Structure 1
């Protein structure tokens, strides 16, 4: 609770651009003209990316770090191309109604990151090296007290001390193309909604469908996979992304699905079962292929020289080459779960491959004429996929952000968002076959306020209301549905 207390490719000359290559988060912030949240809450890596000021050729600013320039060490490292970040995220949560039980929970993450500008250090132009680690502590309120498709916090994870990311990135074609190779977390670059990243519920980060459908949630926080990522930006308004990654960071044999009776009861998300240290570098399962196209535009405001309202629009999809359990039929082709007296009928068949498509919209819809920093942005995101091998068929989330809601609070953001996910027809058929309650839709509403308390500390009180948790399932050992949940939280983010 520390934060609460402290409230190769190319090395020749000419291949890199003059200015630093922006991250996807940095690029979106520039496109949306700084109207995005001060801290983007997708995961600890996004906290780091959004909190880090873009480096400039001359000097650096350490006022947004609690430890300042660390007696000159930070400045010395910066001059040699080395940037050290240390972020602490802490959360207190309380369930006051519904769910499995009422009460509080605490979760926290410490994330050290070392980034090296290879040109400054050894003269390799356009090269960047990155390594980060995670120390995850506390307990998950969603696992202990709730029963939900997605956790109420994107920072909940199994307790561990683990390697997170380890990659090298090379810029080419004067910054229009960059290639990243190594252990990567994909949810800071793919499927991001910049305005939606204000919210704390995990659904607004890595969406509900891949979190529930891919093995251990795929290469997303707190897991990373060996991957090769290409990013091409032919113009300021157009970006194309492609990645080939291992689909299953821990190398799990079970997808932790009820139909498989699988997984480790002490580790329901299977994040730690085979790879608690994050150093397995699994490449023995399927390949996860993802592609995305981002387009930026400004809505016209008529004549008079006023700027248009910026927006960013994304289309993408993924394909996983691995085998997935069949929700509908067993290994003999009979309806799965329909004959409980036959043990073989409880073993699903296997299906090759999995897919998902998605779309994301981030659009500023209003900007104050008298207070330039005040603006209103809206977002929407939708995902869809097949239903015979997945738990979630489709999901949507949407909401709005009001930046600088009060005078003198230019870096604060007030947000209202909501989301919904639906169980697949395969899951519902299995429920019927086994005489269980048939799962339907889970919906949520979140109201949150992100406040910059100091240049290095952000506090965020949060309220969530979850409707029909896990699609309306029964509480364990009862014939009563899990009640709608009222959850309050307080989140802090400190940059050391």
Structure 2
């Protein structure tokens, strides 16, 4: 059971989710600055990379053909504590992404097609630390060596982009409960590609949704509908193949229609406050998983329930700008909350928060640094420890072009897998290359 508890998701760095409220034309007219990318470029957005691969092949940015991708790899050392202190682990993720714009290619207005390939090779990094939440978001459930058709979808805008529908195999964490999504803003100097560069899993998927919500690397087939009447407000609803709840690896197989469905709805808003127009955002959502769900309790007995329901909140706010109107250096904060009524899922309540500093080191305008905490209250049917607390700090250094190196330190005082485990200290060094 433990292997799927560390389910993770990844997020692209250089655009907002394509189902989120659209950005202003001024912001969307050029590529945003490569500042403060997500630590896991690839899965809470539907377009991965910078289109550099397409440019190498002669496809210009306005050609209607997007060809890009990302490679992210890391090495981890468990300094002490956990289940295997002194152990090393390695992870490698490759995503190749092809996107076609039907309006630019054949004159069909508002249509987009996307297809992604994923290859992952890794180790049970989080399991060795005894972490239920996951201090590293790259490794998910086994198999830890996999190739898959990650995404295959058609997206259609209607009514001047106010209604957006996507059908196919996709990553719902791009559109729901996505605290990392940058806030739409009229001022290009305020734009950031990602709210945080934290490595740990909770910043990508609220732990109260572990075991039910499709995402990286278990994408799923379904439909997402978004109503965005303005740039600063949206309503979204999605229904997807919910067989993750019975242990199926939906990323490696086609859809099944057998009574397991994952339904989710969300409302969100964005704003700018103060004389410096500091951007902020807030979202609230509710979800329901159908079908019979099972888990093994601490005594070895089977626990069964018919479906589960939960709610979540998230928000972010730019707190301070160093050079208002000139660049986006400054500090941003975020928070997350979630709760569910499940008897079988690993986490019943969660709260997390963090701070990110952008471009504050002299001479390093494209670097970022941050810290975050994640606290999950565990399901007492399946865990003997009441909660798992985790802290992480990182520094993300821009090297050249779209290449970043990110060292991080994680501290887990209460590893949730076993109440007898000592506090875990771990280091991670990640390299991310977008192309």
Indicate whether the TM-score tops 0.5.
yes
Shift of 1:206: 0.9
Alignment-derived partner of residue 366 in structure 1: 320
Question: Which of these residues, 102, 105, 112, is aligned with residue 96 of structure 2?
Answer: 112
- 1:69/1:326 Cα in 2 relative to 1: closer, same or farther (>3 Å)? closer
The count of residues paired between Structure 1 and Structure 2 equals 398
1:373-384 equivalence runs, <5 A: 373-384=328-339
Are residue 407 (structure 1) and residue 350 (structure 2) matched? no
Tell me if the contact between 2:196 and 2:356 (Cα under 8 Å) persists in the aligned partners. Answer: no
Shift of 1:124: 1.2
User: Separation in 1 of the partners of 2:156 and 2:44?
Assistant: 20
Tell me if the contact between 1:42 and 1:204 (Cα under 8 Å) persists in the aligned partners. Answer: no
User: Separation in 2 of the partners of 1:353 and 1:366?
Assistant: 43
Alignment-derived partner of residue 58 in structure 2: 73
- 1:26/1:278 Cα in 2 relative to 1: closer, same or farther (>3 Å)? farther
Are residue 319 (structure 1) and residue 288 (structure 2) matched? yes
Shift of 1:176: 1.0
Are residue 241 (structure 1) and residue 196 (structure 2) matched? no
What's the secondary structure of 2:243's corresponding residue?
coil
Tell me if the contact between 1:107 and 1:137 (Cα under 8 Å) persists in the aligned partners. Answer: yes
Question: Which of these residues, 349, 368, 376, is aligned with residue 394 of structure 1?
Answer: 349
Q: CA RMSD in A?
A: 2.8
Alignment-derived partner of residue 170 in structure 1: 156
Question: Which of these residues, 79, 87, 93, is aligned with residue 103 of structure 1?
Answer: 87
- 1:107/1:21 Cα in 2 relative to 1: closer, same or farther (>3 Å)? closer
Tell me if the contact between 2:317 and 2:332 (Cα under 8 Å) persists in the aligned partners. Answer: yes
- 1:148/1:137 Cα in 2 relative to 1: closer, same or farther (>3 Å)? same
More helix by share: 1
Q: Could you list the structure 1 runs, at least 4 aligned residues long, displaced by more than 6 angstroms after superposition.
A: 28-31
What's the secondary structure of 1:388's corresponding residue?
coil
Tell me if the contact between 1:43 and 1:205 (Cα under 8 Å) persists in the aligned partners. Answer: no
User: Separation in 1 of the partners of 2:270 and 2:78?
Assistant: 40
Tell me if the contact between 1:226 and 1:245 (Cα under 8 Å) persists in the aligned partners. Answer: yes
- 1:327/1:196 Cα in 2 relative to 1: closer, same or farther (>3 Å)? farther
User: Separation in 1 of the partners of 2:234 and 2:45?
Assistant: 22
Are residue 458 (structure 1) and residue 404 (structure 2) matched? yes
Shift of 1:248: 1.7
Shift of 1:409: 2.3
User: Separation in 2 of the partners of 1:193 and 1:451?
Assistant: 22
What's the secondary structure of 2:81's corresponding residue?
strand
Alignment-derived partner of residue 478 in structure 1: none
Unmatched tracts of structure 1, length 5 or more: 1-19, 53-61, 256-269, 301-305, 329-335, 341-345, 429-437, 475-480
Alignment-derived partner of residue 258 in structure 2: 284
Alignment-derived partner of residue 167 in structure 2: 181
User: Separation in 1 of the partners of 2:150 and 2:48?
Assistant: 18
Alignment-derived partner of residue 226 in structure 2: 231
Are residue 139 (structure 1) and residue 123 (structure 2) matched? yes
Alignment-derived partner of residue 58 in structure 1: none
Alignment-derived partner of residue 306 in structure 2: 352
Deviations 1:63-88 (A, max 9, x none): xx4x6832x5233xx55421111211
- 1:169/1:132 Cα in 2 relative to 1: closer, same or farther (>3 Å)? same
Deviations 1:388-431 (A, max 9, x none): 33321101110101111213322211101111001134446xxx
User: Separation in 2 of the partners of 1:454 and 1:150?
Assistant: 32
Tell me if the contact between 2:177 and 2:312 (Cα under 8 Å) persists in the aligned partners. Answer: yes
Alignment-derived partner of residue 310 in structure 1: 279
- Tell me the TM-score normalised to structure 1 length: 0.74
User: Separation in 1 of the partners of 2:302 and 2:376?
Assistant: 26
Out of 109-118 and 285-294, give the one that drifted further.
285-294
User: Separation in 2 of the partners of 1:469 and 1:230?
Assistant: 38
